[in-house]
Chain A
Amino acid sequence: MAVVPTISADILGLLGIVILLSALYMQGQTFVDPTIRAISIQSFMLTTLFSVLFVQSGDLNLLYLAGVTAVVRGVLIPTVMLRQVQAFRHSLRETGTAQRIPSLVILGVIMVIGGYAVFRAVLLPILPNPLISVPFVLLLLGFLLIVTRRNALMQMTGFLEEENAVLFAGALIAPSIPLLIEFAVVLDILGVVLVGVLLSATRNVLQTLEAPDLEQLSG
């Protein structure tokens, strides 16, 4: 990586910290709509980060990526998800999670510290940019959000967080990766979200109609 002006490095570091804090905020939420808004804000912070990297490197790919991230992840996907929340008000809040929130946040903090330690030990020698530790930890937090929640939309925000982490890592590690791939990734995510929304809508309808018979999905 080229030598960067100190101010850019400071801004990037600051954005990295704020993105991590947004992830921890999501970890501490039981309501669905603030979590969706948080992922939207996180995507806009990522947009800012890509813009700073563009100013720093002059690589046009990063500017395009910033624009696509803002439109698709900052606006479009959260809007689709929030409409889903409005359609099913009864599932606005994740059930059975409220009591576990303090321990989940502590688990998130432990994951941040542990993830950073693993990054330093394993990945820093081959990827010599300490800022890459942020997407690495973000990836773990996204995964944690998926596995600790039962609400489909909450799980989807975890998936979006994971994808944010990979785009973040991609911009730092290989910013010149072909643009077409980045666009396709974004479209693909849109597809996953649309399928997810359709399935979660059907799931909500069926939950209100049928007795639990999910034991068949075990073993």
Chain B
Amino acid sequence: MSLLPREGVEVASSLAAAVLTVGAALAMLALATSGVFGYFYADGLTRTMVITISSIYLTSVAYSVFYLKRIKEPLIRFRWYYSLLDLFVFTMLLAVTVNDLGFVWIAVEATTVTSALLVALERERTSVEAAWRYTLLVSAGLVASLLSVILVFYSQGTLTISVLLTRTAASDLVMAVAVGFALVGYGTKAGIAPMHAWLPDAHSEAPSPVSAMFSGILLPTSIYALLRTFVLLDGSPAFEAMRNLLIGFGVFTALLAAVIMGTQRNYKRMLAYSSMENMGIILVGFALGGVGAVGAVIQVVAHAFAKSSAFYEAGNILVAFNSKSMAAVQGVIGRLKVSGSLFTLSCLAVTGAPPFGVFIGEFLIISQAMQAGDFLVVVLLAVAYVYTFVGLNSQAIRMVFGQRPPLQEDGSAQPGLQKESWLSIAVPLVNLTVSLAIGLYMVPEISQAIAGAGL
């Protein structure tokens, strides 16, 4: 429908599709849908992913209406943009609902094909270069996860997730190697270090609604795919070793992102590294299991809403200042009163400030690590947490409340084409509120975790 060559149809059809998707996701949640449905499979994790993907889809389509006005020479027509956005979401939804590891791989790989042109939409040399790097690096990395699929089939004789989950733990070494390949492949797409090279480029060069979708839902979709292979080892002798491998990669990712974040000059790149840090911690949470896995699920959802809000606000700032440079963007609050405040709050939310949902997630993950006696993990995660919190928020506060520089004629800090509108404020505000509501709703989980960890 979005492809119809009539003005306004593309937005209306994408919005309608997004609303229907959110409706279906809410119905899945209300009915607690689980089990096998033909080619599909659903459990609690599936439902969480579906509602998160659909919600960010809806808000990104809505925000696109505002943001796309700044793009004068797009790489593709806007009706193609909306169609690819729809297809991109379709592939992500397929990845988290299909009952076959082979099709999970195909869907994750298809997210690259459907989203590559979205990254390059602004048709600048940097955005096209970033899109190319994204396509090539992610596709090359995902080859490893295809090997993982082949090895699972070799070992188990089936790729059907519901069947694989009912089997007793797969104890052979082939499965352990399969998890290793899945980590490299899906880890590349999830921005797990050291396979993360594409992530900061694509996040910073994509239009803000696309950056929000990449950070909020694409990265967790890849972690979901990795998890579906990893859990097959649960209870086997190789599980402990692979679990430690995942924790190691997760901690390394969080620490590396925290360190690099402080050196950024581009605020969208800074947010991209924050996503990487969050994915590292989420991976650790899932690998730890127990309360840590609950924390990881909470963090996936809360981070998706908070980070999308931050990227929408970054879009508002870009529209108003026409620059992604932090040096050129100072005194945001003077020009964008609401967006400046919301950007500051969003940055606090994504870095785990209480009582936002990300804080609850990170708290539960660290509690689980403490409960399991992994004190080195606790210390390293705490270092990453503090470093990120201080690094990102101090830069954000400097941007929002810093001295406003005089406008220059060489292109930096020029006045933008548009100011904030009700739409550009309402969309991030809704997402930030959801992230806060998740945090407030999940507060009881903290007391349980404290009791469990013996704090």
A-side interface residues toward B, CB under 8 Å? 122-123, 125-127, 139, 142-143, 146, 152, 155-156, 158-159, 162-163, 165-166, 169-170, 173-174, 177-178, 181, 184-185, 188, 191-192, 195-196, 198-200, 202-203, 206-207, 210, 212-214, 216-217, 219
Contact = CB atoms under 8 A, between A and B. Distances in A.
B58 interface: no
Contact of A202 (B123, B149, B151): B123
Contact of A126 (B125, B174, B200, B205): B174
Most chain A CB atoms below 10 A, which of B106, B125, B266: B125
A195 B265 contact: no
A188 B136 contact: no
Interface string B105-149: 010011011001100100111101111110110011001001101
Interface in B199-239: 200-201, 204-205
Contact of A173 (B151, B263, B269): B151
Q: Dominant SS at the A interface? A: helix
29 contacts: A123-B177, A126-B172, A126-B174, A159-B143, A173-B150, A174-B154, A177-B149, A177-B153, A178-B102, A181-B149, A184-B102, A188-B109, A192-B112, A192-B135, A195-B117, A196-B132, A199-B116, A199-B131, A200-B132, A210-B125, A213-B126, A214-B129, A216-B126, A217-B130, A217-B201, A219-B200, A219-B260, A219-B266, A219-B269
Interface of B: 75, 102-103, 106, 109-110, 112-113, 116-117, 120, 123-126, 128-133, 135-136, 139-140, 143, 146-147, 149-151, 153-154, 159, 172-174, 177, 200-201, 204-205, 260, 263-266, 269, 324
Contact of B110 (A191, A196, A219): A191
Contacts of A169: 147, 150
Contacts of B136: 146, 152, 155-156, 159, 196
B140 A219 contact: no
Contacts, number: 126
Contact of A203 (B112, B128, B269): B128
A143 B132 contact: no
A123 B260 CA distance: 36
B140 A162 contact: yes
Contacts of A219: 200, 260, 263-266, 269
A118 B103 CA distance: 30
B75 A159 contact: no
Given A196-B135, A206-B128, A166 B113 contact: no
A199 B120 contact: yes
A123 to B, nearest CB: 7
Contact of B150 (A125, A174, A184, A191): A174
A106 B150 CA distance: 31
A149 B75 CA distance: 25
Q: Dominant SS at the B interface? A: helix
A139 B143 contact: yes
Contacts of B172: 126
A205 B338 CA distance: 40
A128 to B, nearest CB: 11
Given A146-B140, A181-B159, 6 more contacts: A143-B140, A152-B132, A159-B139, A162-B143, A199-B135, A216-B266
A12 to B, nearest CB: 18
Given A178-B102, A219-B269, A214 B139 contact: no
A181 B132 contact: no
Contacts of B200: 219
B126 A166 contact: no
B237 to A, nearest CB: 14
A192 B154 contact: no
B150 A199 contact: no
Most chain B CB atoms below 10 A, which of A152, A156, A158, A198: A198
Contacts of B112: 192
Contacts of B201: 217
Given A126-B174, A192-B113, A214-B129, A166 B150 contact: yes
A146 B154 CA distance: 29
Contact of A166 (B131, B143, B154, B205): B143
